[in-house]
Structure 1
């Protein structure tokens, strides 16, 4: 009998009564996340710096002492590195995981986005190395070493060490740990570029002491007031480099 009585009550009223008894409240629809490129690249800026991390600029590298500054780097260089991570020429599991399924067009879009950001980088304290070691770093960066067949860093990365369009990166403002890690990756074969791999060749000609001196001097040099890459190199590269064929020697 009671069941027959309930059957006459409209279903909607039964539903309302159940909600009242349960103390449930209608749920507010979740806020829509904007489908902007900046939102989709939040995974990148969580490491490489966002507008909310000091210094307050996207891609600046933030306060961390390892992740490189990517803001304002040449789009061609950023694209080449994304492809290298995707295709296995560079080894860093987090980067590989993020880009392994992305198309060339999407990688170009990411590279263009970060190359258009012009962010300051923190000036790091000069490394506490003996003066002679820092001078060795300055010598290698600005003059190279003919006996080792190592060209000066400025011969490829520009007089101001801010790189050159379309695909040569700047070195100023990079953390010392990052620079050391990349030299190590080239030396042990876990980082490659398109052949001929000029940096792979140079890295094998330098001693660990020379790498340490270079990274210490570079990491503590302040960025110039205008850190934008040069429109082009003043002269051809001193050796063939597959990632910058337009600047062939």
Structure 2
């Protein structure tokens, strides 16, 4: 008994070797996991958007917009307020390079069939009378985004989609000039936001979830930040 206590005491007095945390970009962006999910992949029931596989140019533009005040989120602004463009590029490149499976997407929705049909029409055909381009004209035929800086719209929670589209409509979100989504938002009604968000949130992911390399035709509206 006494020998055991003495041995324990010697161990307690031994020098403690501090744990070594690897200085990698994966370790440094670990804080992002708290909100965006493990390695940047969220479930389709949450609010926060998936980061994995998004175009690096888009991710960089959003980080800069949070830092410079074009987008408003106190947590994001606090995290990036002192970060340089070079570091934001490093973060964007890291998440863009992740290739992770998407969570299962439920095809069920509590939206009425006519609302889902309106959302489908806006996403795939647009509304000529109101000069609303179809989502596919800018975000790609598969709606998985387009390089270098147009995001995908699939695999995102309906709440997140509706909140961001609504922010364009109410002029609470801004992007680099010319702000194409602000222009689109001015042409939308709140019912359009609900419809397209409801439809997009129920669409399955295609076999190839990566952003398209390019669009088959010019974008229907001038959009800033695309060449960044």
> Do both share a fold (TM > 0.5)?
yes
Listed as ranges, the matches of 1:36-55 within 5 Å are 36-50=24-38
Residue 8 of structure 1 aligns with which residue?
none
Farther off after superposition, 121-130 or 64-73: 121-130
The TM-score, its normalising length taken from structure 1, stands at 0.83
Gaps of at least 5 residues in structure 2 are 1-8
| Residue 113 (str. 1) matches residue 94 (str. 2) | yes
SS in 2 for 1:86: helix
Output one character per residue of 1:186-242: Cα deviation in whole Å (capped at 9) or x when no partner: 222221001111111111211111110100000110111110001111110001111
Match of 2:220 among 233, 238, 242: 238
Output one character per residue of 1:92-141: Cα deviation in whole Å (capped at 9) or x when no partner: 11111111100000000001001000122223323211111100000000
The TM-score, its normalising length taken from structure 2, stands at 0.90
User: Structure 1 segments of 4 or more deviating over 6 A?
Assistant: none
Residue 188 of structure 1 aligns with which residue?
170
Note if contact 2:44-2:155 (Cα within 8 Å) is conserved in structure 1.
no
- CA distance in 2 between partners of 1:184 and 1:130 (Å): 20
- CA distance in 2 between partners of 1:98 and 1:104 (Å): 14
Gaps of at least 5 residues in structure 1 are 1-20, 51-57
Note if contact 2:57-2:226 (Cα within 8 Å) is conserved in structure 1.
no
Structure showing greater radius of gyration is 1
Note if contact 2:72-2:173 (Cα within 8 Å) is conserved in structure 1.
yes
Listed as ranges, the matches of 1:193-204 within 5 Å are 193-204=175-186
Note if contact 1:69-1:121 (Cα within 8 Å) is conserved in structure 2.
no
Note if contact 1:123-1:220 (Cα within 8 Å) is conserved in structure 2.
no
Structure 1 residue 74, shift from structure 2 partner: 0.7
Residue 88 of structure 1 aligns with which residue?
69
Call closer, same or farther: CA 1:184–1:63 in 2, change over 3 Å.
Answer: closer
The count of residues paired between Structure 1 and Structure 2 equals 219
- CA distance in 2 between partners of 1:123 and 1:163 (Å): 19
- CA distance in 1 between partners of 2:223 and 2:194 (Å): 23
Residue 158 of structure 1 aligns with which residue?
140
Note if contact 1:123-1:221 (Cα within 8 Å) is conserved in structure 2.
no
- CA distance in 2 between partners of 1:203 and 1:174 (Å): 19
